[in-house]
């Protein structure tokens, strides 16, 4: 059984200024401190807690262990949202890297090292007499002591880093020297100057000139850090580099990034509504629809027909709205009086899609048009008239008075 803890405190050491934040971590058992360490100034408590749980898993490699932590954040990473972040490649829904992504990834990898492990949540800073409370207090005390220590400076790492910088500068100078004369003349016209180290820089800002051959690589590196948008990539590039045409490379890298294309929404294209063409004459194009009213004298539905050209309205009461009844009214009443229409617009209800109605339209060579479902604007003229029927009687259709209006 092991306890792990991360501590974050304000250092009051004599050799440091007040208010400098330091962080430490510790892994303990009831009898001993198995491991502890400190972080550089400015490290958050969450990073220290993740580090403590990671080290506990590393120390328990190949063993069966119960690991207690008082950090709800670290416990949640291990049990709840850590696996979700891993599936999302440690990116938020907006495509930006999650906070403490590197520490979370390291913890999830370390959790597979013990043969059997249970990560348990315990209360923090309690005075109970249970083993969990005693172990947590011991880990908390060890983490605070570790945070008071000064991180050791790795001189070898500093020397290696210095050598890497020198090698990088030599590579940049070599790439600039291999550029064409036309490109170098462009730098000179823009006010660039050649430094003593053989690198072209901007005079006032001392930003390094980026050759065209380096643009694509820089765009890829800048985007891979945080999956930035092209505008943000250009701003990040302009901090240390100068060069023309970087925006094109930034846009190309962002467009080819698979995680960005999966997560970021594409451009929203607003399509204008298509207006129906004007009819050539009266009673050539009509719109039909039904309205249901309170039953009266056996009639409960009204078939409303509107001519699109003259806006002439006819309303005929029916006992039941069916495809057969619709075809009957058109063939026996409407068409003999007003002539054969070239097209009929209607909804997609069964009273307009029945076999009898379809057969009538086919025989009479009438174009049969169905508007979009749940989009009454497609047959707006008849819909407007239907909205007025319950409030008034139509003198244009005396037979409609047989229905309750």
- Tell me which of 191 and 270 has the higher pLDDT: 191
Let me know whether 254 and 343 are in one domain: no
Range(s) of the domain holding residue 347? 285-402
Instruction: Output the CA angle 179-181-182, nearest 5 degrees.
Output: 100
Say which DSSP state 91 is in: B
403: confidence class by pLDDT, cuts 50, 70, 90: very low
> Which of 214-218, 267-271, 309-313 shows the lowest per-residue confidence on average (mean pLDDT)?
267-271
Q: Is residue 272 part of a domain?
A: no
Is the pLDDT assigned to residue 359 strictly greater than 50? yes
**CATH number for the domain harbouring residue 226:** 1.10.340.70
Contacts of 221 (CB under 8 A, 6+ apart): none
* Domain-terminating residue out of 130, 148, 166: 148
**CATH number for the domain harbouring residue 386:** 3.30.420.10
Q: Provide the domain count of the chain.
A: 3
Let me know whether 291 and 201 are in one domain: no
Let me know whether 181 and 57 are in one domain: no
Identify the helix (H) or strand (E) that includes residue 127: none
Let me know whether 131 and 227 are in one domain: no
Q: Is residue 270 part of a domain?
A: no
Q: Is residue 392 part of a domain?
A: yes
Let me know whether 240 and 377 are in one domain: no
pLDDT 10s digits, 84-142: 888 888 888 777 888 888 899 999 999 999 998 899 888 887 777 888 888 888 888 88
Phi first, then psi: what are they for 295, rounded to 5°?
A: -65, 135
Q: Is residue 167 part of a domain?
A: no
Let me know whether 120 and 211 are in one domain: no
Mean pLDDT of 364-370: 84
Q: Do 40 and 151 touch, CB atoms closer than 8 A?
A: yes
pLDDT 10s digits, 48-77: 889 889 988 988 888 888 998 888 888 999
pLDDT 10s digits, 292-341: 888 888 888 888 898 988 889 898 899 988 888 888 898 999 999 999 89
Let me know whether 180 and 136 are in one domain: no
**How many helical (H) and strand (E) elements, i.e. helices and strands, does the chain have?**
16, 14
Q: Is residue 278 part of a domain?
A: no
Identify the helix (H) or strand (E) that includes residue 5: strand 2-10
Phi first, then psi: what are they for 226, rounded to 5°?
A: -135, 10
Let me know whether 295 and 253 are in one domain: no
Let me know whether 185 and 58 are in one domain: no
Let me know whether 258 and 392 are in one domain: no
Is the pLDDT assigned to residue 226 strictly greater than 90? no
Let me know whether 258 and 290 are in one domain: no
**Residue 19, Ramachandran bin (φ over 0: left; ψ between -120 and 50: alpha; else beta):** left
Q: Is residue 102 part of a domain?
A: yes
The rounded percent of the chain whose pLDDT value lies above 90 is 5
The pLDDT value given to residue 160? 41
Let me know whether 234 and 336 are in one domain: no
CA distances 318 to 188, 304, 358, Å, are 88, 11, 19
């Amino acid at each position: 059984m092991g306890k792990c803890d991360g501590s974050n405190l304000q250092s009051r050491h004599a050799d440091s200024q007040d208010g400098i934040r330091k962080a430490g971590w510790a892994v303990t058992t009831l009898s001993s401190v198995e491991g502890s360490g400190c972080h550089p100034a400015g490290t958050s408590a969450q990073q220290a807690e993740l580090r403590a749980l990671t080290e506990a898993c590393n120390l328990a490699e190949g063993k069966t262990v119960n690991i207690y932590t008082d950090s709800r954040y670290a416990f949640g990473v291990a049990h709840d949202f850590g696996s979700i972040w891993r599936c999302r490649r440690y990116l938020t829904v907006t495509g930006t890297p999650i906070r403490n992504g590197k520490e979370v990834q390291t913890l999830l990898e370390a959790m597979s090292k013990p043969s059997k492990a249970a990560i348990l949540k315990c209360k923090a800073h309690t005075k109970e007499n249970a083993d969990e409370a005693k172990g947590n207090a011991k880990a908390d005390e060890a983490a605070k002591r570790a945070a008071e220590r000064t991180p050791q400076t790795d001189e070898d790492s500093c020397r290696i880093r210095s050598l890497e910088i020198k090698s990088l500068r030599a590579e940049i100078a070599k790439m600039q020297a291999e550029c064409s004369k036309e490109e170098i003349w462009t730098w000179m016209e823009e006010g660039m100057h050649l430094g003593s180290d053989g690198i072209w820089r901007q005079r006032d800002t001392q930003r390094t000139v980026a050759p065209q051959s380096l643009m694509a690589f820089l765009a890829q590196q800048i985007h891979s850090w945080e999956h930035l948008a092209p505008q943000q990539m250009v701003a990040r590039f302009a901090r240390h580099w100068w060069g023309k045409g970087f925006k094109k490379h930034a846009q190309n890298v962002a467009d080819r990034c698979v995680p960005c294309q999966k997560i970021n929404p594409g451009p929203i294209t607003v399509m204008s509504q298509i207006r129906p063409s004007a009819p050539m004459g009266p009673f050539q194009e009509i719109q039909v629809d039904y309205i249901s009213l309170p039953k009266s004298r056996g009639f409960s539905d009204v078939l409303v027909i509107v001519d699109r050209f003259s806006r002439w309205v006819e309303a005929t009461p029916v006992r039941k709205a069916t495809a057969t009844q619709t075809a009957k009214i058109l063939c026996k009443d409407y068409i003999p009086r007003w002539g054969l229409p070239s097209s009929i617009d209607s909804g997609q209800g069964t009273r307009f899609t029945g076999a009898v109605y379809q057969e009538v339209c086919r025989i009479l060579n009438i174009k049969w048009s169905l508007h979009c479902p749940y989009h009454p604007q497609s047959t707006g003229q008849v819909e407007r008239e239907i909205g007025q029927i319950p409030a008034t009687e139509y003198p244009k259709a005396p037979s409609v008075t047989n229905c309750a209006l």
